[in-house]
Amino acid sequence: MRIIKLVYVLHKIKLLSPLGLYRLIVATFNCGINLMTLLYFAEKKYSDKIALVDDNQEISYKQLLAQSTRLALDLKENVHLESGQKAALLCKNHASMVKSLFAVSRLGADVYLLNAEISKSQFNELIDRHDFDVLIYDAELNSLVEQSHYSNDKILSYHDHLPAINNLLHSNGHEKQGLPRTSTSKIVLQTSGTTGVSKDAAHKASLFNYLNPFVAFISRLRLLDYNTAYIGTPIYHGYGLAVLLLFIPLGKKAVISSGFNAKKACNLIREHQVEVVTVVPLMLQRMLKTNAEDLRSLHCIASGGAKLSTKLVDETYNQLGDVLYNLYGTSEAGLNFIATPQDLNYSASTVGKKINGMRLKVLDERMNEVETGEIGQFCVRNDWSMSNRNSSWIETGDLGYRDENGYYFLCGRKDDMVISGGENVYPIEVEQILIKHSAVEDVAVIGINDEQFGQRLTAFVQLVENASATEEELLEWLSSKVARYQVPKEITFVTHMPYTSIGKLDKKQLDKV
pLDDT of 193: 41
| Single-letter amino acid, residue 126 | L
Supply φ then ψ for residue 58, to 5 degrees.
-110, 135
Mean pLDDT split into 10-residue runs, the chain, 513 residues: 65 72 83 92 94 96 96 93 96 96 96 92 92 96 94 94 82 65 89 62 74 86 94 89 89 95 97 96 95 97 91 96 94 89 96 92 92 94 73 88 96 88 89 94 92 90 94 94 92 92 84 73
pLDDT of 372: 95
What is the separation, in whole angstroms, between the first and last Cα of the chain?
A: 53
Three-state SS for 282?
Answer: helix
pLDDT of 501: 76
In terms of C-beta distances under 8 Å and separation of at least 24 residues, what long-range contacts does 151-154 make, across chains too?
Answer: 153/79
pLDDT of 28: 85
Residue 206: which residues within 8 A CB-CB, separation 6 or more?
33
For 116, other C-beta atoms within 10 Å of its C-beta total 24
499 in the Ramachandran plot: left (φ > 0), alpha (ψ -120 to 50) or beta? Answer: beta
In terms of C-beta distances under 8 Å and separation of at least 24 residues, what long-range contacts does 70-73 make, across chains too?
Answer: 70/168, 70/169, 70/171, 70/174, 71/99, 71/100, 71/102, 71/103, 71/165, 71/168, 71/169, 72/36, 72/102, 72/103, 72/104, 72/106, 72/107, 72/179, 73/174, 73/177, 73/179
| Single-letter amino acid, residue 314 | D
Q: From residue 200, how far is each of 88, 104, 126, 489 by CA, in Å?
A: 13, 18, 10, 38
How many degrees, rounded to 5, is the angle at CA 54 between CA 312 and CA 59?
Answer: 130
Sign of CA dihedral 208, 85, 131, 36: negative
State the DSSP H helix or E strand holding residue 452, giving kind and residue range, or none if neither: none
- Domains of the chain in sequence order: 58-205 (3.40.50.12780), 214-415 (3.40.50.12780), 417-512 (3.30.300.30)
pTM over 0.75: yes
pLDDT of 415: 86
